[in-house]
Amino acid sequence: MLTSNIRSSFRLFGFTLLLLSSGIFAQTNTKIQMAAKDTSSVKSAGSYHSFFAGTGFGSNMIYLGSTISHDQPYGYGTLAYGYKNELFTSVSAAHLSNYNPFIAFYIGALNYNHVFSSWFDISSGIYRYQVVSSLTDSLFNSFTYGELTLGVDWRLLYSKISIGGLVSEENQAYFQFRNSRYFQTPEIFNGKANISFDPYANLLFGNLVTVRTSTENTVVVSSPGRSWKKRKYGTTTYTSYSKHFGLMEADFGLPVAFNTDKMTIEAEADYILPVYKDPDIHGPKGFIFMLSGFFRIL
C-alpha cells in the first residue's frame, strides 16, 4: 500500500508534449504526479535524477468536488522530473474538446513525499492551475491549491488523511479521508512487468453554502476559481446565505495499471456521489473514466 502511495491527480495527447515547455495537470488531480511516482519507484543505478513524459484523456475532469472541464472530455500531456524519488516537479497542458485555443489551461506542480517506516509516510504538494486569458469567463479564474497528507498502512487498508487550502476568488479549506487496498499480480514477462489494482473510497469535506432566495433554498459549493456569488439563482438574486463546513461528496474508484520499470499504463473508473443537491453544472454525479500513460525517459 505504501507502493500505491509512491505510485499515486490530472490522463490524449502525446503529440502535444512539446507544448509543455510553455505551460500542468495534477488529480486531478493530482493524478499525474502520483502516476509518475509509480514508475519512479525503480531508481536508475547511481543516479538521483529521473525524468518522465505522460499523456492521457478522461471523460470529465473533476477537482475538489467540481467539474472544471464543464462536463467535457479532456486530454493532457505532461513532463515530470524527480529527485531522489522524493521530490517531484511537473508541468502539463490540458485540452478541452469544445474550447479554443487548443490548450485551455496549464498546471504546474511541486510534490514531496517521504516514507518513514513500513506503516507511515507523509506527502505534500502545491499546484497552480493557469487558464488562458481568453477562457477565464467561460472556464475559471486561475488558482493555487496546496495540501499536506499523512498515510498509514494498516496492512489490510491504506488510509490517507489530507488537509488542503485553495487560494482563489474565495479562499477555502478542504479535508479528505481515503481508504484503499493496493495489490498486484505476480511478475509476468520474465519478471519485467506486473498488473496492479488499487480500489479506493474517498470522502471530501469543504465549504457548503445555503443560498436563500424568495422562492427556495439551495445548497451550493464554490467551484475552484469560480465564485458561487456570480451564479444565477433562477430569476431572482439571493437574499441571504450561510456557510458551513461539511461532507461534499463521496467517490469510489478502481485504477488498474500495467507496470514495467520504464512505463505505467493505467485505466480508472470512478463513481462520484455528491452529498449536496446543487442543480448547477458544477455538481458532478455518476461515472467518469480516465486512461493515462507515463514513460520514464531517464
pLDDT digits (tens, 9 = 90+) for 230-272: 665 555 566 677 788 889 899 999 999 999 988 999 999 999 9
Structural domain harbouring 46: 2-296
Amino acid at position 195, single letter:
I
pLDDT one-digit tens code per residue, 266-295: 999 999 998 776 655 455 788 999 999 999
Residue 65 predicted with pLDDT over 80: yes
Angle, CA of 131, 10 and 63, to the nearest 5°: 70
Q: Are the beta carbons of 20 and 10 closer than 8 angstroms?
A: no
Taking only the tens place, the pLDDT of each residue in 70-107 is 888 999 999 999 999 899 999 999 999 888 999 999 99
Q: pLDDT: is 138 or 73 the higher one?
A: 73
Mean pLDDT over 51-69 rounds to 90
DSSP 118-186: SSEEEEEEEEEEEE-GGGTTTS---EEEEEEEEEEE-SS-EEEEEEEEEESSS-EEEEEEEEE--EEPP
pLDDT of residue 230: 60
Those residues whose C-beta lies under 8 Å from the C-beta of residue 217, and which sit 6 or more positions away, are 210, 211
Give the whole-angstrom CA distance, residue 116 versus residue 124. 14
Q: Report d(CA 56, CA 10) in Å as an integer.
A: 9
Cell 516514507: give the residue.
115
Q: Are 140 and 224 in contact (CB under 8 A)?
A: yes
* Farthest-apart Cα atoms in the chain, separation: 69
CATH number assigned to the domain comprising residue 157: 2.40.160.40
Helix (H) or strand (E) holding 259: strand 240-260
Tell me the mean pLDDT in the region 176-202: 94
pLDDT at 28 exceeding the cut of 70: no
pLDDT at 170 over 50: yes
Instruction: Identify the DSSP state of 44.
Output: P
Average pLDDT, the chain: 80
Whether pTM > 0.85 for this model: the answer is no
- What's the domain count of the chain? 1
Three state DSSP letters for 200-257: EEEEEEEEEEEEECCCCEEEECCCCCCCHHHCCECCECCCEEEEEEEEEEEEEEEEEE
Q: Which helix (H) or strand (E) holds 294?
A: strand 286-296
